[in-house]
């Protein structure tokens, strides 16, 4: 649809608008301006909560939000929450009003950027010009945006192609929309091509990010890394690039590097919950307990009164401290776990299974610290509760399996995990958790991965590249810390390396940690003989030092 | 603060400028409201307020330039390259100074294709265009022509007036690579210095932005900004 400016007056008559500003004077002033343009209905909100409630009841065509709303949610957080709750259509204009002349306030992902920024102070004339421009654009691309709102990406892409053929001023916009639709459709070869086409003419940030994301999905990790490194070095403010970079590092088998990247991002922009959670996960993988705990606590603080708030954040903190307890056999921190659990029980006392979940994590804290008697008493009580509970989440059963494991009851643990692997066969997240806890991979994906790893390991052993083998198995163990085959292979690689270059304390310690993980191996296990041989090697090397 | 209690002067200046700019922002918006409320009752007063607003605008522009140059020298200035619809952009710049043009009886001619698109830092370039417009309003006799087009891979934005034209010394200075800001001449040409530096920051595929000043034969002065 081609819309001329003369039609604008008619268009305004059918528009509705919401103004979000904490100053009544400002609300009144902008309202008068919009009414002068002919906007049919103008509502106002003094804060985010009220604004979001209004958006739940009514779909506005234009939302003007001040960035700084005092102590309340800021304009950016409102935008994210509206998108998160699916209350903001692509056909709606979201304009952010800022006091600064720059967009230096760091905004998260491209997806969460407003349609336009307006810098204070502005005159009625300037607001009108800006709104005219946005309204003309939204009207011109209305069918495309509507298709995206209906998730009909094929139609949106088709419409974009038609529009691009006109070579008018919306050409670039359409390339951008088309690239993003292709990403959403997982058509990464095609999205790559679209972004490359744009980049031939000009190094535009959004196209570079889009290309980087396409390359990541196509597993061209090094190429993607180059793009994101350049964007970071150029000082790109879009925090999404750090998230992508961390994923790349992790997939390249460098979780420490991934952690560093996210730590940088969190320093620049500390208020993204999802990023803090990712960082906490990485810190736990890297056994950086105090850093992990700090991020977990930050997540809880940020989550307060937000859409992301959930008791699970508190449980994750408890699991994090449990991880540290288990790792250091540290009894002194059991009370900290109990404190966390007390809080979550008080705060969410009406939630289902809060008590049960808390009890299991407490039992696990004792089990991890080696206080098996206390833990067992609690487990006995829990078992009754579990039997009578109709709704047992995967998480509850996973925590239970973990507790049995820490209690040394490996059969019970394994039995639970096998059952879970059957029930949640198609849930990759649960499968990953199962394989992390299990002695051997139980999920299809996990089994496949184990085969690949063993193959790679065999090649490295054949070429006597023990150092690389240590790295390979060490990294794999951050994902599957309990896997027997991996632990045994790591022992083998360490023993071979030390036989070649001499024993050293650090490698002996790693060897011992792996040995401990295998200590509960049964005599009839096919790996048992190899395990015994490795133990002898280890003892010899230990006494040689 | 260091031991001898001395503070980095440029930092001090930059943060003061920031404060002044905020106050000025308030001043500008309340001036707008005052002028608005005066409407037709008192044309004479309205004229005077408009001049006030014009001067406040000039101060605001100068401060934006100062801050910009401070950031430039400290490598804190980062371009936010964005796709910009040129016609909308230029109309917006003109609108923001409409009051000044109206009270001075200046006609604005805008010549720009509706489908013309550019890629630049909208805020910074708007600072440049605004500065030139406010200056032209002071020196033109009754006309300002704003035009934009695409030529040889460059987007060209030209602002011409029918006043006395630019002094030859300023025109010469623009082309001079080692020019400096001359504090003795009374006019520092800060705006032009800023414009030239910002234009240079805009680069694409081996091309670099620049500015040009000339006094075309038919009278008046013409400022042109070229962006790759």
Residue A268 lies in a domain: no
- Are A433 and A479 members of one domain? no
Radius of gyration in angstroms for the set of CA atoms belonging to chain A, rounded to a whole number: 28
Suggest the residue from B123, B131, B207 to mutate for an interface test with chain A (most A CBs closer than 10 A): B123
Q: Where are the alpha helices (DSSP H) in A334-408?
A: 334-347, 354-369, 372-388, 394-406
List pLDDT tens digits, range A342-377. 999 999 988 888 999 999 999 999 999 999 999 999
Helix (H, G, I), strand (E, B) or coil at B208: strand
Give B88→chain A minimum CA distance, Å: 7
Residues 6+ apart with CB under 8 A from A116: A93, A95, A96, A130, A133, A134
Suggest the residue from A97, A98, A129 to mutate for an interface test with chain B (most B CBs closer than 10 A): A129
pLDDT at A107: 60
Q: Is the pLDDT reported for residue A1 higher than 50? A: no
- Are A151 and A230 members of one domain? yes
pTM for this model (two decimals): 0.79
A120, A173, A235 ranked by CB distance to B78: nearest: A235
Cβ–Cβ of B92/A130 closer than 8 Å? yes
Helix (H, G, I), strand (E, B) or coil at A298: helix
Q: Do B188 and B170 form a contact (C-beta atoms < 8 A)?
A: no
Give A24→chain B minimum CA distance, Å: 16
Q: What is the CATH number of the domain that holds A100?
A: 3.40.50.2300
Q: What is the CATH number of the domain that holds A223?
A: 1.25.40.10
Task: Tokens for B162, please give them.
Answer: 């029918």
pLDDT at B179: 55
Give A175→chain B minimum CA distance, Å: 12
Question: In B, which residues are within 8 Å of A204 by CB distance?
Answer: 81, 83, 119
Residue A288 lies in a domain: no
Q: How far, CA to CA in Å, does B106 sit from each of A184, A207, B4, B98, B103? A: 52, 42, 54, 9, 8
Cβ–Cβ of B95/A172 closer than 8 Å? no
Q: How far, CA to CA in Å, does B134 sit from each of B21, B60, B192? A: 17, 11, 13
Q: Which residue of B has its CA nearest to A125?
A: B95
Q: Give bridge partners of residue A275 from the DSSP assignment.
A: none
- Are A63 and A162 members of one domain? no
Per DSSP, the residues of A498-519 read HHHH---HHHHHHHHHHHHHHT
Tell which residue, A117, A202, A175, A94, has the closest CA to residue B126. Answer: A117
Cα separation of the two ends of chain B: 43
CA distance B27 to B29: 6
CA distance A359 to A364: 9
Helix axes A205-217, A240-251, angle to 10 degrees: 20
Give B86→chain A minimum CA distance, Å: 10
- Are A386 and A345 members of one domain? yes
Tell which residue, A360, A369, A430, has the closest CA to residue A394. Answer: A430
- State chain B's maximal CA–CA distance in angstroms: 61
Give A121→chain B minimum CA distance, Å: 6
Cβ–Cβ of A126/B88 closer than 8 Å? no
- Minimum mean pLDDT among A76-85, A124-133, A274-283, B185-194: which range? B185-194
H or E element in which residue A85 lies: none
Task: Tokens for B126, please give them.
Answer: 């708007």
Q: What is the CATH number of the domain that holds A397?
A: 1.25.40
CA distance B18 to B23: 9
- Are A228 and A148 members of one domain? yes
* Pairing mode of beta strands A16-20, A62-66: parallel
Q: Which residue of B has its CA nearest to A170?
A: B115
- Are A127 and A148 members of one domain? no
* Pairing mode of beta strands B210-214, B222-227: antiparallel
CA distance A135 to A63: 12
- Are A392 and A478 members of one domain? no
List pLDDT tens digits, range A294-306. 999 999 988 887 7
B92, B117, B119 ranked by CB distance to A169: nearest: B117
- Are A86 and A182 members of one domain? no
Residue A256 lies in a domain: no
Mean local confidence (pLDDT), B122-137: 88
Mean local confidence (pLDDT), B58-78: 80
Residue A474's pLDDT band, with cuts at 50, 70 and 90, is: confident
Q: Is the pLDDT reported for residue B110 higher than 70? A: yes
Helix (H, G, I), strand (E, B) or coil at A123: coil
H or E element in which residue A96 lies: strand A93-98
Q: Is the pLDDT reported for residue B161 higher than 60? A: yes
Question: In B, which residues are within 8 Å of A202 by CB distance?
Answer: 119, 204-205
Give B14→chain A minimum CA distance, Å: 15
CA distance A412 to A296: 30
- Number of Cβ within 10 Å of residue B73's Cβ equals 12
User: How many interface pairs between A and B have CB atoms less than 8 angstroms apart?
Assistant: 57
Q: How far, CA to CA in Å, does A476 sit from each of A175, A447, A481, A516? A: 40, 13, 8, 17
Q: Do A487 and A518 form a contact (C-beta atoms < 8 A)?
A: yes
Residue B1's pLDDT band, with cuts at 50, 70 and 90, is: very low
Cβ–Cβ of A203/B91 closer than 8 Å? no
B28, B95, B114 ranked by CB distance to A121: nearest: B28
Q: Give bridge partners of residue B225 from the DSSP assignment.
A: B157, B211
List pLDDT tens digits, range B169-194. 888 777 665 555 554 544 557 788 88
Q: How far, CA to CA in Å, does A102 sit from each of A117, B15, B80, B134, B197? A: 10, 15, 9, 22, 18
What phi and psi values does residue A454 have, to the nearest 5 degrees?
Answer: -60, -40
Residue A65 lies in a domain: yes
Q: Give the CA angle between residues A294, A300, A306 to the nearest 5°.
A: 145
Q: Is the pLDDT reported for residue A504 higher than 80? A: yes
Q: Do A175 and A194 form a contact (C-beta atoms < 8 A)?
A: yes
* DSSP, res B69: H
Cβ–Cβ of A119/B123 closer than 8 Å? yes
Q: Is the pLDDT reported for residue A396 higher than 80? A: yes
Q: Which domain holds residue A135?
A: 5-140
- Are A465 and A378 members of one domain? no
Residue ending a domain, choose from A238, A253, A272: A238
List pLDDT tens digits, range A476-502. 887 888 888 899 999 999 999 998 888
- Are A70 and A17 members of one domain? yes
Mean local confidence (pLDDT), B149-173: 87
CA distance A285 to A544: 32
CA distance A141 to A163: 9
Question: In B, which residues are within 8 Å of A128 by CB distance?
Answer: 95
CA distance B118 to B157: 10
B80, B92, B115 ranked by CB distance to A126: nearest: B92
| Bond from prior residue into A446 cis (ω within 30 degrees of 0) | no
Residue ending a domain, choose from A372, A405, A438: A438
A99, A125, A204 ranked by CB distance to B81: nearest: A204
Residue A171 lies in a domain: yes
Give B171→chain A minimum CA distance, Å: 30
Give A173→chain B minimum CA distance, Å: 9
Residue A450 lies in a domain: yes
List pLDDT tens digits, range A137-196. 898 999 999 999 999 999 999 999 999 999 888 999 999 999 999 999 999 999 999 999
The CA dihedral of A202, A205, A207, A208, to the nearest 10 degrees, is 100
Radius of gyration in angstroms for the set of CA atoms belonging to chain B, rounded to a whole number: 19
Cβ–Cβ of A169/B116 closer than 8 Å? yes
Dihedral over Cα of A357, A363, A369, A370: its sign: negative
Residue A243 lies in a domain: no
Q: Is the pLDDT reported for residue B38 higher than 90? A: no
Question: In A, which residues are within 8 Å of B209 by CB distance?
Answer: none
Q: Do B169 and B187 form a contact (C-beta atoms < 8 A)?
A: no
Ramachandran class of B153: left when φ > 0, alpha when ψ lies in -120 to 50, beta otherwise: left
Helix axes A354-369, A394-406, angle to 10 degrees: 20
Residue A445's pLDDT band, with cuts at 50, 70 and 90, is: confident
Question: In B, which residues are within 8 Å of A171 by CB distance?
Answer: 117
Suggest the residue from B95, B119, B209 to mutate for an interface test with chain A (most A CBs closer than 10 A): B95
Residue A306 lies in a domain: no
Task: Tokens for A251, please give them.
Answer: 């997939």
Q: Do B46 and B100 form a contact (C-beta atoms < 8 A)?
A: no
- Are A14 and A117 members of one domain? yes
Q: Do A148 and A125 form a contact (C-beta atoms < 8 A)?
A: no
Residue A100's pLDDT band, with cuts at 50, 70 and 90, is: low
More confident residue, B80 or B114: B114
- Are A409 and A490 members of one domain? no
Report the domain count for chain A: 4
- Minimum mean pLDDT among A110-119, A211-220, A273-282: which range? A110-119
Q: Do B7 and B1 form a contact (C-beta atoms < 8 A)?
A: yes
SS3 content of chain A, % helix, strand, coil (to 5): 70, 5, 25
Residue ending a domain, choose from A417, A438, A459: A438
Q: How far, CA to CA in Å, does A440 sit from each of A279, A317, A484? A: 27, 27, 6
Mean local confidence (pLDDT), A105-121: 73
């Amino acid at each position: 649809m081609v819309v001329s400016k003369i039609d604008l007056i008619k268009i305004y008559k059918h528009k509705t608008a919401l103004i979000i500003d904490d100053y009544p004077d400002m609300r009144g002033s902008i309202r008068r301006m919009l009414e002068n343009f002919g906007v049919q209905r103008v509502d106002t909100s003094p804060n985010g909560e009220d604004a979001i409630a209004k958006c739940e009841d009514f779909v506005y065509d234009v939302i003007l939000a001040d960035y700084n709303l005092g102590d309340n949610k800021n304009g950016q957080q409102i935008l994210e929450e509206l998108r998160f709750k699916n209350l903001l259509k692509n056909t709606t204009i979201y304009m952010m009003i800022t006091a600064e002349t720059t967009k230096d306030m760091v905004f998260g992902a491209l997806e969460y950027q407003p349609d336009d920024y307006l810098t204070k102070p502005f005159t009625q004339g300037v607001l009108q010009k800006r709104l005219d421009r946005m309204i003309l654009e939204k009207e011109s691309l209305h069918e495309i945006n509507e298709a995206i709102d209906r998730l009909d990406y094929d139609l949106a892409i088709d419409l974009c192609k038609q529009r691009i053929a006109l070579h008018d001023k919306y050409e670039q916009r359409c390339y951008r929309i088309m690239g993003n639709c292709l990403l959403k459709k997982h058509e990464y070869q095609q999205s790559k091509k679209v972004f490359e086409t744009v980049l031939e003419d000009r190094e535009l940030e959004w196209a570079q990010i889009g290309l980087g994301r396409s390359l990541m999905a196509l597993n061209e990790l090094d190429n993607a890394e180059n793009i994101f490194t350049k964007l970071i070095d150029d000082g790109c403010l879009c925090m999404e690039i750090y998230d992508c970079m961390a994923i790349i590092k992790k997939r390249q088998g460098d979780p420490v590097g991934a952690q560093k990247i996210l730590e940088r991002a969190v320093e620049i922009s500390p208020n993204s919950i999802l990023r803090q959670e990712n960082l906490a996960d990485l810190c736990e993988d890297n056994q950086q307990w105090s850093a992990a705990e700090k991020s977990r606590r930050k997540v809880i603080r940020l989550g307060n009164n937000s859409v992301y708030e959930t008791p699970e954040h508190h449980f994750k903190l408890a699991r994090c401290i449990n991880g540290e307890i288990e790792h250091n056999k540290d009894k002194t921190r059991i009370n900290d776990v109990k404190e966390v659990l007390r809080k979550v029980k008080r705060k969410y006392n009406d939630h289902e299974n809060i008590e049960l979940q808390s009890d299991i994590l407490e039992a696990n804290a004792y089990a991890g610290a080696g206080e098996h008697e206390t833990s067992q008493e609690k487990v006995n009580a829990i078992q009754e509760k579990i039997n009578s509970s109709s709704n047992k989440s995967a998480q509850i059963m996973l925590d239970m399996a973990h507790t049995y494991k820490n209690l040394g009851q490996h059969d019970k643990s394994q039995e639970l995990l096998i059952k879970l692997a059957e029930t949640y066969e198609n849930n990759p997240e649960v499968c990953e958790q199962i394989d992390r806890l299990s002695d051997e991979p139980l999920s299809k994906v996990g089994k496949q991965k184990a085969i690949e790893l063993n193959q790679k390991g065999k090649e490295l052993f054949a070429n006597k590249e023990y150092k690389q083998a240590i790295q390979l198995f060490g990294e794999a163990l951050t994902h599957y810390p309990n896997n027997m085959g991996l632990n045994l292979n790591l022992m083998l690689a360490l023993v071979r390396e030390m036989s070649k270059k001499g024993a050293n304390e650090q490698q002996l310690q790693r060897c011992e940690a792996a040995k401990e993980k295998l200590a509960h191996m049964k005599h009839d296990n096919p790996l048992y003989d190899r395990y015994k041989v490795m133990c002898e090697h280890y003892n010899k090397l230990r006494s040689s030092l | 603060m260091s031991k001898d209690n001395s503070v980095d002067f440029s930092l001090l200046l930059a943060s003061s400028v920031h404060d002044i700019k905020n106050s000025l922002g308030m001043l500008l918006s309340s001036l707008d409201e005052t002028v608005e409320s005066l409407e037709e009752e008192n044309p004479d007063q309205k004229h005077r307020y408009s001049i006030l607003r014009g001067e406040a605008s000039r101060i605001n522009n100068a401060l934006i330039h100062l801050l910009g140059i401070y950031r430039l020298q400290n490598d804190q200035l980062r371009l936010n390259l964005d796709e910009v619809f040129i016609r909308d952009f230029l109309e917006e710049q003109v609108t923001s100074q409409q009051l000044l043009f109206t009270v001075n009886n200046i006609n604005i001619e805008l010549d720009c294709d509706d489908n013309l698109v550019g890629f630049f830092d909208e805020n910074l370039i708007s600072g440049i265009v605004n500065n030139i417009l406010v200056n032209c309003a002071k020196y033109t006799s009754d006309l300002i022509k704003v035009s934009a087009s695409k030529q040889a891979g460059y987007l060209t934005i030209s602002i011409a007036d029918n006043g006395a034209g630019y002094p030859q010394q300023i025109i010469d200075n623009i082309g001079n690579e080692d020019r400096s800001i001359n504090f003795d001449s009374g006019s520092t040409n800060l705006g032009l210095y800023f414009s030239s530096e910002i234009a240079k920051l805009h680069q694409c595929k081996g091309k670099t932005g620049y500015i040009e000043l000339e006094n075309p034969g038919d009278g008046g002065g013409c400022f042109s900004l070229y962006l790759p």
